[in-house]
């Protein structure tokens, strides 16, 4: 598509620094979040949670709670045993624990009451009879066979707590390792992470006397919530309306349908009153769905020319108590690991296990981040063994544009070579790397990411994204979309697409996003799909309107000039429709619109997006990771390590990212800077520590995200490849930019003090331990002589 006749004067708004359309309301405090919504007669809900990591629930007595004045409804799991889950392949959740509590914090019962104090008091009156079961909190425990009655989920076919096994093999891997000129290998351990979004989950449900249910929730994926509500509540979808108000960040943490969303609807249905639930931060750590803790074993091989010949990867993924997005994570940890490099052979064993901990799920950079840390670290080690500069080794192995990876991904636009050139040139790589004083170093890390999962989670042939437009006599353009604005800028992006095509200022476009009664279905804000898919749908819809306006303009110009101007020769810009060859010949947008509306009424149009068929490979799981296009990035980090304390200070990141065309530089830079902030948190300090399965630091003081004071200077380098299928050539920038920063820092630490870290985060104590071991080693060797 995806570029309807670009105006002679260049773009109207594409590529211009455009403030996000929801920035002012947010800054002024007028944006409405779920917790701001108050309905007459609204009740407050609180949730009773399991104090046991694993326990059978023998009985729940709610009678005392129900008798407490001010309590309007109490619900338990037995009232809604239907299982759900974001992936149809592992529906293993219920609205509340039915007969088994599977982690500390698992929802067991819920209360709706006149106020929070009464609801809190009511929770204390609920008596639960638990039979404590052995808890499996470490993945090592989870892969030992257990009696079926102790399995965390009994539906799996495994004798232990394995949830999913993925096995991929391409080419003669053993041969590649046997004939390798050099190999590098290591065992890595990456901690689990919380998304640490600003707004804790909140949901408001209103079951009306008409039998219709409205649910307001901070959701990235309202469509799947819509489906899950219908399934679990046994209601037809048309009786349910899901509304997503302003959302205070998601990063993947608001993309499952959640138990708390369903139980609030149950409470409202039970008492006929609106019910609101607002989670505490600690509860956010229970709901969780953050980055999976992983243990990764990786070996790579190269021939004497520095050509990568083999990659052998084994990952154990700690899933926590439920499936969530875990099957996808199990694939992504492997299939998103090779590009931007070409490996001749590849073997992947991935195992996701259930443990009695809060469920892990999807988080920014889903599945690609942890393996990337391992791979990019080993590439550096391999380069050293081959006597090559780490950048040179990478350059020799890049996959070219318009090619196919060994596991069948279609690569189209690909700016990785330029990304590497730019970030190394600007950072002074050749002059500085390996030559800085002890304690200071440079490191590189690359990456790539899907720009929208090509296959929908629910196997249907419905479009993946649809946009409706409506223009009436006021001239304003109402854009209905199911794309979920969660702070990433999708409303702005969609409005930009329409404003560009119709040549009007962006403030003429008003976005009505995600109200399932009003907006067409969009699959949601995950897998970095929204700009690519919803952007294309918006362009298609706007192009149809443009045709209608063009026809009207043609008529008007025919009346005013001798020969008229055929539609194909009209450009749309600045609120005018004019002849490309002679801008004096023009009609205003409003004039053309007025004529187009005559005897016709409001202009409406629809645009859709559906990915092209991409599946070429046929192995099991071949569809995982397929995307209409991919983003690429290369970063250089400049760090300083204090060798006495192990503290790492990141001075600067040169971040080169290929996002196709940069539709809005402000948003592109914001996504890259935000990704770096988040990635540095994972690199240096973020870590979900557990104590017998219980999150040890379920708050934002002790669970440390990077503070503003640690944020380094970031030089964003946007590499524009102009993707052939992207909206005006754009592709993703929301997730891909996170992964490279972690290995870039790790490799820079090596350059600075000569130690390799195998564990994330690289906290000062771990860094110092590595430095001390290196110091001790020569001494020990000496002593042994």
Q: Rounded to an integer, what distance in angstroms lies between the CA atom of residue 478 and that of residue 471?
A: 6
Q: Which is nearer to other proteins, 239 or 704 (CB)?
A: 704
Length reported for the chain: 785
Closest approach, Cβ 686 to other proteins, in A, equals 10
Q: Which of 411, 150, 187, 190 is nearest to 290 (CA)?
A: 190
Which of 390/646 has CB closer to other proteins?
646
* Category of 589 on φ-ψ map: left (φ > 0), alpha (ψ -120 to 50) or beta: alpha
Whether the Cβ atoms of residue 389 and residue 606 lie closer than 8 Å to each other: no
Encoded tokens for 678:
């988040």
Sequence-distant (6+) residues with CB within 8 A of 433 are 389, 441, 442, 751
| Residue for token pair 């070996």 | 299
CB of 320 to other proteins, least distance (A): 16
On whether the CB atoms of residues 755 and 443 are closer than 8 A, the answer is no
Residue nearer to other proteins on the CB measure, 714 or 768? 768
- Asked if 354 and 103 count as a contact pair (C-beta separation under 8 A), the reply is no
Q: 564 vs 35, 212, 545, 561, CA distance in Å? A: 56, 54, 21, 5
Name 252's Cβ contacts closer than 8 Å, sequence gap at least 6. Answer: 195, 220, 289, 290, 325, 361, 362, 363, 364, 366, 526
Q: Which is nearer to other proteins, 129 or 282 (CB)?
A: 282
Q: For 7, which DSSP code?
A: -
**DSSP letter (8 states) at residue 282:** H
Token code pair at residue 369: 């981040």
Least separation in angstroms between residue 139's CB and other proteins is: 21
Q: Which residues contact 45 (CB under 8 A, 6 or more apart)?
A: 110, 111, 112, 113, 119, 263, 264, 267, 275, 276, 277
**Least distance from other proteins to the Cβ atom of residue 57, Å:** 15
Helices (H), 245-346: 259-271, 281-287, 326-335
Q: How far is the CB of 126 from other proteins (least distance, A)?
A: 13
Paired sense of beta strands 43-49 and 275-278, if any: parallel
| Separation CA 168–CA 337 (nearest Å) | 13
Query: Please, what is the minimum distance in Å from the beta carbon of residue 701 to other proteins?
Result: 7
Minimum CB separation from other proteins for residue 765, in Å?
4
- Which of 482, 491, 496, 426 is CA-nearest to residue 636? 426
Angle at 661 between CA 657 and CA 665, to 5 degrees: 75
Residue 245 vs 695, nearer CB to other proteins = 695
Q: Is 606 exposed, middle or buried (0-12, 13-18, 19+ CB in 10 A)?
A: middle
What is the C-alpha end-to-end distance of the chain, expressed in Å? 71
Which of 308, 680 has the CB closer to other proteins? Answer: 680
Q: Which is nearer to other proteins, 506 or 771 (CB)?
A: 771
Tell me the Ramachandran region of residue 212: left when phi exceeds 0, alpha when psi lies from -120 to 50, beta otherwise.
Answer: beta
Q: Determine what percent of the chain falls in helix, strand and coil, rounding each to the nearest 5.
A: 30, 25, 45
Enumerate binding residues for other proteins (CB under 8 A).
Answer: 49, 51-52, 104-105, 116-117, 120, 280, 282, 644-646, 684-685, 691, 694, 696-698, 701-702, 704, 706-710, 763-765, 768-769
Least CB distance to other proteins at residue 161 (A): 21
CB nearer to other proteins: give 556 or 706: 706
Strand partners, 510: 478
Contact present, 538 and 550 (Cβ < 8 Å): no
Cα-Cα-Cα-Cα dihedral sign, residues 112, 114, 115, 120: negative
Judged by beta carbon, residue 116 or residue 129, the one nearer other proteins is 116
Q: For residue 774, give Cα distances in angstroms to 503, 750, 770, 778.
A: 63, 12, 6, 7
| Paired strand residues for 586 | 578
CA diameter of the chain: 101
Residue that has been written with the tokens 């809900």 in this structure: 45
Instruction: Look at the block and give the residue holding tokens 């239907």.
Output: 82
**Least distance between other proteins and beta carbon 704 (Å):** 5
φ, ψ dihedrals at 649, nearest 5°: -115, 125
CB of 755 to other proteins, least distance (A): 15
Q: Which of 245, 200, 197 is nearest to 34 (CA)?
A: 245
- How many Å separate Cα 749 from the centre of its chain? 28
State how far the alpha carbon of 765 is from the alpha carbons of 167, 192, 511, 644, 704, in Å: 36, 18, 49, 10, 15
Alpha-helical regions (H) of 171-299? 173-178, 222-233, 259-271, 281-287
């Amino acid at each position: 598509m995806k570029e309807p006749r670009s105006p002679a004067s260049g773009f109207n708004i594409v590529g211009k620094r455009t403030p996000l359309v929801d920035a002012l309301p947010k800054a002024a405090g007028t944006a409405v979040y779920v917790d701001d919504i108050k309905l007459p007669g609204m009740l407050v809900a609180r949730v009773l949670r399991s104090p046991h990591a694993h326990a059978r629930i023998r009985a729940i007595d709610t009678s005392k709670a129900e008798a407490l004045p001010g309590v309007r409804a109490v619900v338990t799991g037995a009232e809604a045993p239907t299982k759900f889950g974001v992936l149809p392949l592992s529906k293993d959740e219920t609205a509340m624990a039915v007969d088994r509590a599977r982690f500390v914090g698992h929802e067991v019962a819920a209360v709706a009451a006149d106020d929070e104090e009464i609801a809190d008091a009511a929770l204390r009156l609920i008596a639960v009879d638990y039979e404590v079961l052995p808890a499996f909190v470490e993945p090592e425990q989870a892969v030992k066979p257990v009696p079926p009655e102790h399995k965390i989920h009994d539906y799996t076919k495994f004798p232990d707590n394995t949830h999913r096994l993925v096995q991929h093999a391409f080419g003669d891997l053993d041969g590649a390792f046997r004939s390798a000129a050099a190999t590098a290998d290591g065992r890595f351990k990456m901690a689990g992470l919380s998304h640490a979004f600003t707004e804790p989950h909140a949901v408001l449900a209103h079951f009306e006397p008409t039998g219709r249910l409205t649910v307001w929730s901070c959701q990235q994926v309202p469509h799947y919530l819509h489906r899950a509500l219908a399934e679990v509540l046994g209601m037809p979808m048309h009786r349910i309306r899901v509304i997503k108000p302003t959302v205070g960040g998601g990063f993947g943490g608001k993309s499952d349908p959640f138990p708390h969303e369903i139980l609030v609807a149950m409470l409202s249905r039970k008492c006929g009153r609106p019910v609101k639930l607002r989670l505490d931060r600690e509860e956010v750590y229970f709901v969780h769905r953050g980055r999976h803790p992983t243990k990764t074993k990786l070996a790579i091989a190269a021939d004497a020319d520095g050509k990568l010949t083999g990659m052998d990867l084994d990952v154990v993924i700690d899933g926590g108590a439920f499936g969530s997005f875990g099957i996808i994570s199990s694939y992504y940890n492997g299939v998103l690991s090779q590009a931007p490099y070409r490996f001749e052979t590849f073997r992947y064993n991935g195992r996701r296990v259930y443990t009695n901990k809060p469920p892990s799920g999807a988080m920014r950079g889903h599945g690609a981040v942890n393996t990337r840390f391992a791979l990019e670290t080993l590439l550096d080690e391999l380069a050293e063994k081959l006597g090559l500069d780490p950048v040179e080794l990478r350059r020799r192995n890049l996959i070219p544009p318009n090619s196919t990876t060994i596991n069948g991904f279609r690569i189209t636009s690909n700016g990785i070579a330029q990304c590497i050139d730019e970030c190394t040139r600007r950072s002074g790589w050749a002059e500085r790397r390996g030559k800085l004083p002890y304690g200071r170093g440079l490191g590189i890390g690359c990456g790539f990411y899907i720009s929208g999962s090509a296959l929908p989670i629910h196997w249907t042939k419905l479009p993946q994204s649809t946009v409706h437009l409506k223009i009436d006599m006021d001239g304003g353009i109402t854009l209905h979309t199911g794309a979920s604005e969660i702070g990433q800028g999708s409303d702005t992006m969609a409005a930009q697409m329409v404003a560009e095509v119709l040549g009007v200022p962006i403030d003429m476009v008003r976005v009505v996003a995600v109200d399932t009664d009003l907006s067409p279905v969009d699959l949601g804000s995950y897998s970095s799909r929204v700009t690519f898919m919803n952007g294309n749908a918006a362009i298609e819809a706007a192009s149809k309107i443009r045709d209608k306006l063009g026809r009207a303009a043609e008529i008007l110009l025919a009346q005013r000039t001798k020969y008229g101007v055929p539609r194909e020769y009209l450009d749309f810009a600045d609120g005018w429709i004019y002849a490309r060859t002679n801008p004096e010949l023009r009609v205003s947008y409003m004039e053309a619109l007025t004529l187009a509306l005559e005897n016709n009424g409001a202009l409406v149009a629809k645009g859709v997006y559906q990915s092209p068929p991409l599946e070429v490979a046929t192995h099991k799981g071949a569809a995982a990771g397929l995307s209409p296009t991919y983003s690429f990035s290369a970063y250089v980090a400049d760090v300083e390590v204090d060798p006495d304390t192990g503290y790492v200070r990141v001075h600067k990141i040169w971040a080169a990212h290929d996002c196709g065309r940069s539709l809005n530089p402000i948003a592109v830079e914001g996504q890259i800077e935000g990704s770096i902030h988040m990635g540095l948190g994972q690199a240096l300090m973020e870590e979900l520590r557990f104590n017998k399965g219980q999150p040890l630091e379920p708050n934002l003081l002790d669970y440390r995200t990077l503070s503003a004071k640690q944020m380094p200077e970031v030089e964003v380098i946007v590499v524009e490849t102009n993707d052939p299928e992207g909206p005006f050539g754009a592709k993703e920038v929301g997730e891909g930019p996170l992964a490279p920063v972690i290995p870039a820092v790790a490799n820079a630490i090596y350059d600075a003090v000569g130690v390799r870290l195998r564990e994330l985060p690289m906290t000062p104590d771990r860094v110092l331990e590595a430095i001390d071991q290196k110091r001790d080693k020569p001494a020990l060797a000496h002593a042994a002589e």
